[in-house]
């Protein structure tokens, strides 16, 4: 969401900057241009120079030849009049006819300020008289009326600063107004787009300039919601289907198991018949475990398994599972070695007790299932800096490197979308992996440190328990 | 494995599947239970309960005219007896709901007969205590009723904690009880950090019950995991 205001700000910033740049360029250009043309005090100084170039000899006034030539080249006529009488003491040869040779004070004032017979005239004061230069018509524009209030001139710097400040503020207001206006119309659109990937339903008001965009976003959101709903419905249907089937199998299987078990201990049957009944019991148990696993795996896969997460002591949970197996009197064939460090009695984690017990017993059962000739099972809980690690290993026949790779990398058929034709392994490990994942952890499958098969469940720890009590 | 007195207890079995009822009855009868009444629906169950006043009810969760949890509530109004659920829904949710409502235990279908019998006997023994028996050990006997150890004709008193620990061990006689379960029995929930105290108490118990406390035969340690009480027949 931060990118949109940034974009608008950058865009308006560039606009603002270019405006200022243009303004400055124009001002600079204007200044340069006028600087080149303004100093049109040139005719004034020429008049002054001409006045200075006048010399008197025996009551006759003459101008220096250089000056005369210069005036001639510019087609300027000149009259030098006496200060006292107003009579022309000297005039240039190119004096037009309409130019008088006698001047009154008011005429002088008028020609100084303006024109004489449309000739722009300029004056320069000489030793005894006044030099009047007449430039060709329409060569200069004279403006002699300008006069300013002194106070105004005095406050020019302040006025300029004020105007400049007002301008800047105005530009800023326009900038902010445009910025917020643009943001206001873009913001809901941007927010809507941002919400889309989170899967939330988006409903924007379809108003303003961007109403079409808003409508498109609403439509997209609606489509996504429908798809999500359909997918969830499908997943729920699948999980429910599995739950339903497994439920319906349970009651008939109870009877198969129950009666077969009774038969296996019946006095009326001979040994061979009892053995057959035992096989029925054993196989029924396999079916029972299978439907339990299938149900749990599908629920975990579709996030339909309710988790009851509490602070738990991982050591206590694993200890209980191990003791349950030991109490089941399997110790002759599958002795369990408890390898947890002696000083580790508490390792706190957030966990669903039942599920974690299920994961650990799955691993122990797994070792037993794959080593019919018996093996030693090594169980440990260790605490690392941040994690709690539960390790179940055996010294049984183990797996090849290739099988290990497959177990680690290949998806289980339950969660695989292509039809799996390869040999399928049980659901035990898949469930362990799913349980670890639902606890924010993971599993590592290896040969273990006893040349067999080993799985480590790594779960995030919850820190230290309160201090030791007496 | 079950004591004689619990075989005399009256059991009400409620399940909508007649064949399953038949099987459970045969399992119970084979084990020596005599007084069993069955029902196939909530209505029948309520009738039977009035007539029969059972000591234990075994209920299915899904019944044709209601569910087992509701039935349990109604049953518990007329009499306070334990309830064991027999469920085809193995979901944890259901288990917790059952326990929350005051169910005493549950068995998930399919089950083995001995599994069911074990649960039934355990509940009955827990709820209808005979006089606490005299527990015979290698070097002494324990009178749990009076919290006393009788060793070489001498009576030694047990402290409260020692009594709790020995009771927990006795309830699981012959089986390993984890350190954590023992701490919980003696100190209540979340018993973190009591491991050393537990060791001290076990040592003191051994001094009272063992012939040679440094070479225990009745109360043995399973290293790192827990303890086991070996009783003598």
Structure tokens at A51: 């006045």
pTM metric for this prediction: 0.63
- Claim to verify: residue A154 and residue A28 sit in the same structural domain: yes
Mutate to test the interface with A, among B171, B178, B183, B220 (most CBs of A within 10 A): B178
What element of type H or E holds B119? Answer: helix B113-127
> Residue A398's domain is classified under what CATH number?
3.30.565.10
In a domain, A466, yes or no: no
Of the candidates A246, A258, A315, which has its C-beta nearest B23's C-beta?
Answer: A258
Among the partner residues A257, A319, A354, nearest to B179 by beta-carbon distance: A319
The CA radius of gyration of chain B, in Å to the nearest whole number, is 21
**pLDDT on residue A468:** 47
- What is the CATH number for A293? 1.10.287
Residue B176: domain span: 134-229
Identify the CATH number of the domain in which residue B48 sits: 3.40.50.2300
Whether residues B24 and A258 touch (CB distance < 8 A) is answered with yes
In a domain, A250, yes or no: yes
Q: Which residues on B lie below 8 Å from A306 (Cβ)?
A: 91-93
Residues A235, A165: one domain? no
Q: Which domain holds residue A269?
A: 222-298
Neighbour order of strands in the sheet with A115-116: A88-91, A77-82, A129-134, A119-125, A115-116
Q: Chain B closest CA to A390's CA: distance in Å?
A: 15
A363 and A386 part of one domain? yes
B60 bridge partner residues: B86
Domain end, chosen from B127, B150, B179, is at B127
The CATH number covering residue B164 comes to 1.10.10.10
Same domain? For A414 and A453 the reply is: yes
pLDDT at position A16, please?
80
Q: Is B93 on the interface with A (CB under 8 A)?
A: yes
Question: Can you list the residues of chain A whose pLDDT is less than 70?
Answer: 1-2, 37-41, 143-146, 329-331, 410-425, 463-470
3-state secondary structure chain A: CCHHHHHHHHHHHHHHHHHHHHHHHHHHHHHHHHHHHCCCCHHHHHHHHHHHCEEEECCEEEECHHHHHHHHHCCCEEEEEECCCCEEEEECCCCCCCCCCECCHHHHHHHHHCEECCEEEEEEECCCEEEEEECCCCCCCCCCCCCCCHHHHHCHHHHHHHHHHHHHHHHHHHHHHHHHHHHHHHHHHHHHHHHHHHCCCCCCCCCCCCHHHHHHHHHHHHHHHHHHHHHHHHHHHHHHHHHHHHHHHHHHHHHHHHHHHHHHCCCCCCHHHHHHHHHHHHHHHHHHHHHHHHHHHHHHHCCCCCCCCEEEEHHHHHHHHHHHHHHCCCCCCCCEEECCCCCCCCCEEEECHHHHHHHHHHHHHHHHHHCCCCCCEEEEEEECCCEEEEEEEECCCCCCHHHHHHHHHCCCHHHCCCCCCCCCCCCHHHHHHHHHHHCCCEEEEECCCCCCCEEEEEEEECCCCCCCCC
Residue partners of A119: CB distance under 8 A and separation at least 6: A77, A96, A99, A134, A135, A136, A137
Residues B139 and B81 in one domain: no
**Whole-number pLDDT of residue A37:** 67
Same domain, A331 and A261: no
A469 found inside a domain: no
Q: Which of B110, B127, B144 is the last residue of a domain?
A: B127
For residues A11 and A157, membership in a common domain is answered with yes
| Interface contact B92-A306, CB threshold 8 A | yes
Residue A335 and residue A455 share a domain: yes
ipTM for the complex shown: 0.77
Residues B94, B167, single domain; the answer is no
Judging contacts by C-beta atoms under 8 Å, the chain B residues touching residue A246 are: 90
- Phi/psi at A259 (nearest 5 deg)? -70, -35
Q: Which of B109, B226, B229 should be substituted to probe chain A, the one whose Cβ sees the most A Cβ atoms within 10 Å? A: B109
Q: Which of A101, A103, A141 is nearest to A119 (CA)?
A: A141
What radius of gyration do chain A's Cα atoms show? 53
Nearest to A466 among B17, B20, B193 (CB): B193
Q: Are residues B112 and B203 in the same domain?
A: no
Write out pLDDT tens, residues A326-382.
887 655 788 888 989 888 888 888 898 888 998 999 999 888 888 888 888 999 999
CB pairs < 8 Å spanning A and B: 109
Total tally of structural domains belonging to chain B: 2
Do B111 and B10 lie in one domain? The reply is yes
Pairwise CB contact (< 8 Å): A258 & B112:
yes
Same domain, A232 and A353: no
Q: Which of B99, B127, B155 is the last residue of a domain?
A: B127
- Smallest CA–CA distance, residue B90 to chain A, in Å, is 8
Could you tell me if A328 and A453 lie in one domain? Answer: yes
Mean pLDDT split into 10-residue runs, chain B, 233 residues: 72 90 90 89 89 88 85 85 82 56 80 88 81 80 88 89 91 88 84 84 93 91 91 79
Contact: B114, A261; criterion CB under 8 Å? yes
């Amino acid at each position: 969401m931060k990118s949109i205001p940034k974009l608008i700000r950058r865009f308006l910033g560039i606009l603002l900057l270019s405006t200022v740049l243009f303004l400055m360029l124009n001002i600079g250009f204007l200044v340069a241009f006028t600087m080149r043309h303004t100093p049109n005090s040139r005719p004034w100084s020429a008049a002054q120079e001409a006045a200075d170039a006048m010399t008197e000899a025996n009551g006759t006034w003459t101008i220096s030849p250089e000056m005369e030539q210069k005036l001639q080249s510019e087609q300027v006529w000149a009259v030098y009049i006496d200060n006292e009488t107003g009579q022309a003491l000297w005039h240039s040869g190119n004096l037009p006819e309409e130019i008088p040779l006698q001047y009154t004070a008011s005429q002088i004032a008028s020609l100084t300020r303006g024109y004489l017979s449309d000739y722009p005239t300029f004056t320069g004061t000489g030793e005894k008289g006044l030099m009047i230069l007449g430039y060709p018509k329409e060569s200069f524009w004279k403006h002699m009326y300008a006069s300013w209030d002194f106070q105004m001139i005095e406050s020019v710097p302040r006025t300029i600063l004020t105007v400049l400040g007002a301008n800047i503020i105005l530009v800023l207001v326009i900038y902010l107004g445009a910025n917020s206006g643009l943001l206001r119309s873009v913001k809901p659109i941007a927010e809507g787009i941002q919400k889309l990937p989170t899967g939330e339903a988006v409903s924007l008001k379809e108003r303003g300039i961007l109403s079409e965009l808003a409508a498109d976003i609403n439509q997209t959101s609606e489509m996504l919601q429908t798809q999500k709903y359909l997918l969830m419905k499908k997943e729920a249907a699948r999980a429910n289907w599995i739950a339903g089937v497994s439920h319906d199998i349970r009651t008939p299987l109870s009877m198969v198991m129950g009666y077969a078990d009774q038969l296996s201990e019946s006095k009326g049957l001979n040994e061979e018949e009892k053995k057959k009944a035992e096989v029925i019991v054993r196989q029924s148990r396999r079916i029972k475990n299978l439907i339990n696993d299938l149900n749990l795996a599908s629920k975990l896969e579709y996030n339909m398994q309710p988790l009851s997460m509490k602070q738990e002591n991982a050591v206590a949970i694993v200890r209980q599972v191990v003791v349950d197996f030991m109490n089941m009197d399997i110790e002759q064939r599958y002795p369990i070695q408890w390898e947890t460090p002696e000083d580790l009695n508490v390792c706190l984690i957030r966990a669903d007790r039942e599920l974690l017990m299920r994961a650990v017993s799955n691993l122990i059962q797994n070792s037993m299932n794959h080593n019919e000739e018996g093996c030693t099972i090594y169980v440990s809980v260790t605490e690392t800096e941040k994690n709690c690690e539960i390790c179940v290993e055996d010294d049984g026949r183990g797996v090849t490197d290739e099988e290990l790779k497959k177990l680690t990398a290949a998806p289980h058929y339950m969660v695989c979308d292509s039809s799996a034709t390869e040999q399928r392994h049980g659901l035990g490990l898949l469930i362990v992996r799913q349980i670890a994942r639902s606890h924010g952890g993971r599993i590592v499958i290896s040969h273990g440190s006893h040349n067999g098969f080993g799985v480590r469940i790594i779960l995030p720890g919850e820190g230290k328990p309160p201090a030791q009590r007496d | 494995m079950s004591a004689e007195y619990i075989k005399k207890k009256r059991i009400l079995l409620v399940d909508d599947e007649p064949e399953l009822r038949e099987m459970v009855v045969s399992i119970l009868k084979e084990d020596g239970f005599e007084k069993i009444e069955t029902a196939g629906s909530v209505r029948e169950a309520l009738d039977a309960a009035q007539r029969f006043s059972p000591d234990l009810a075994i209920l299915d969760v899904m019944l044709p005219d209601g569910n087992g949890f509701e039935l349990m509530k109604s049953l518990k109004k007329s009499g306070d007896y334990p309830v064991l659920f027999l469920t085809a829904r193995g979901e944890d949710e259901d288990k917790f709901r059952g326990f929350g409502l005051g169910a005493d235990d549950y068995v998930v279908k399919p089950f083995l007969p001995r599994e069911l019998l074990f649960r039934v006997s355990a509940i009955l023994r827990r709820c209808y205590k005979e006089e606490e028996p005299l527990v015979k050990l290698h070097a002494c006997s324990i009178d749990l009723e009076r919290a006393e150890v009788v060793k070489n004709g001498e009576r030694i008193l047990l402290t409260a904690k020692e009594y709790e620990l020995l009771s927990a061990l006795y309830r699981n006689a012959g089986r390993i009880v984890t350190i954590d379960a023992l701490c919980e029995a003696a100190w209540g929930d979340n018993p973190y950090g009591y491991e050393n105290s537990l060791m001290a108490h076990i040592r003191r118990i051994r001094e009272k019950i063992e012939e040679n406390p440094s070479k225990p035969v009745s109360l043995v340690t399973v290293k790192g995991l827990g303890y086991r009480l070996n009783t003598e027949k």
